[in-house]
Structure 1
Amino acid sequence: MKFNWLRILPIFGRDMEKETVELFKAMINEILSVRQPFTEVGKALKKGDFKKIKQHAAVINEKEHNCDKIRRHISQNMYSGAFMPVMRTRLYDLTDGIDDVIDRVQDVADRIIYLEHKKVPAKVADLYIKMIDEGCVAITELSVIINDLFSGSPELMHEVKKANMAEHNLDMLKKDVLDIVLFDKKIDAVSVWLLFNVAKLLSEVGDAVEGCCDDVAILRLLRQA
């Protein structure tokens, strides 16, 4: 994906602002790269291959750690004087929100590991795969949204609507999981909680993206002020 991020504001002529924009780019690329192992976790669950799940979860954990390091570097730049104060605070909030997205993906992968030796209805596994797909859609849209913000694209709010739709779809799929696990008498109480908790964490990927969209909307207004 091509990023045109140096067009956001004239103050990006300063070296620290340029470096920070590159760090944002690195952070987004890191979160985009989590989609592949995230998708593989769902496929491995469908096959009952928990060895593969653990391998992909380890990759996700490494990417989350990388994202944390980038976020800290951005924070250091912000509080060393990069950007105007009001913009600085909102951009920091955005980095926190982006990090929250990958945190939720990490939580999902780590929690799915606990489904080993548990009864996972085939319909629930299929719904998880759909939720992972929607989560990846939301992550992709987030990358487009942030690029649109920094490049001043008029398409920004259109992309926000698409991300919000992915969040809505995740909520509906979460409800579908609950409808299945609550009324399947063959599933024990602990498994019911665990199965729904995975669905809840999956829906929180969309919630985290939606939170980033709220930060972007405020930054857009600040650009226009």
Structure 2
Amino acid sequence: MLFGKLLPREGNFFALFNQHANHIGEAAEALVKLIANYSDAALRAQYTAAIDEAESAADSVTALVNKTIHQTFITPIDREQIHSLINTMDDVADLIQDVAETLVLYDVQSITQDMRSLADLDRRCVDRVRAAIATLDKIADSSVAEAALKTCEEIDQLEDDADRVLRSAMSALFRQEENVRELIKLKAIYELLETVSDRCQDVANIIEGIVLENS
């Protein structure tokens, strides 16, 4: 019995990565819908709750991955890569929840087109993260590895797009918004939304490292 417990195990890390990526996707979709329907109090509460649920589910997967690392003798990729990947993915889920919470805490009364644009770019970044994560168990195949790297490049481009939207939004905000309280609120929301895409880029960088080292 003891011998059986000591046998090397790989753990089901790739399946857990995919589960987590799906939860981030749910949160990102709910964020887009939250912002699109923000004026409707019932829908606002519904989509905020959906984000909280997705973030909680992502937290559970993160905890399971970190626990499994310590229980696994042989891992399919480097332990530090596993740890960095799952925790950076979890940062994405946390930031999406932060956006939703800050909208409420700051009592934001109206949604701008720049918020909508940034939320949509975040959703697209997360979608590409999901696609890249789904390739990790097959990167021994050179064509899959190449596709994964291309997907990471797409995430980098989307993050650049979000940077441009943020710069434009900030320029307009400081030129046009005369209410200092509103300026502070909107600045915080814009920066949080853009940080979601930044963190997706961090995930892409980790995935690139995994692909290059293991393909």
Per-residue deviation, 1:115? 4.9
Q: 2:71 aligns with which of 71, 80, 105?
A: 80
CA 1:88/1:132 → structure 2, altered by over 3 Å: closer, same or farther? same
Q: Which residue of 2 aligns with 1:177?
A: 169
Per-residue deviation, 1:82? 4.8
Q: Which residue of 1 aligns with 2:44?
A: 53
3-state SS, counterpart of residue 14 of structure 2: helix
The amino acid of 1:140's aligned partner reads: D
Per-residue deviation, 1:148? 2.3
Per-residue deviation, 1:135? 0.5
For 2:105 and 2:132, the matched residues in 1 are separated by: 34
For 2:124 and 2:106, the matched residues in 1 are separated by: 25
For 2:182 and 2:160, the matched residues in 1 are separated by: 25
Normalising to structure 1: TM-score of the pair?
A: 0.82
For 1:184 and 1:211, the matched residues in 2 are separated by: 33
Correspondence 1:16-165 to 2 at 5 A: 16-45=9-38, 48-84=39-75, 87-116=78-107, 118=109, 120=110, 125-152=112-139, 153=144, 154-165=146-157
Kindly report the root-mean-square deviation, in angstroms, between the aligned alpha carbons of the 2 structures. Answer: 2.1
CA contact (8 A) 2:99 2:189 kept: yes
CA contact (8 A) 1:53 1:109 kept: no
The amino acid of 1:35's aligned partner reads: A
- Structure 2 gaps, min length 5: 1-6
Q: Which residue of 2 aligns with 1:213?
A: 204
The amino acid of 2:207's aligned partner reads: V
CA contact (8 A) 2:17 2:133 kept: no
For 2:75 and 2:108, the matched residues in 1 are separated by: 53
Residues 1:223 and 2:211 aligned together: no
Q: Which residue of 2 aligns with 1:10?
A: none
Per-residue deviation, 1:55? 2.7
- Structure 1 gaps, min length 5: 1-13
Paired residue total? 204
Aligned residues with identical type, % of pairs: 17
3-state SS, counterpart of residue 17 of structure 1: coil
The amino acid of 1:209's aligned partner reads: C
CA 1:95/1:64 → structure 2, altered by over 3 Å: closer, same or farther? same
For 1:180 and 1:40, the matched residues in 2 are separated by: 24
3-state SS, counterpart of residue 37 of structure 2: helix
Normalising to structure 2: TM-score of the pair?
A: 0.86
The amino acid of 2:193's aligned partner reads: L
Per-residue deviation, 1:108? 0.9
Q: Which residue of 2 aligns with 1:11?
A: none
Per-residue deviation, 1:59? 1.4
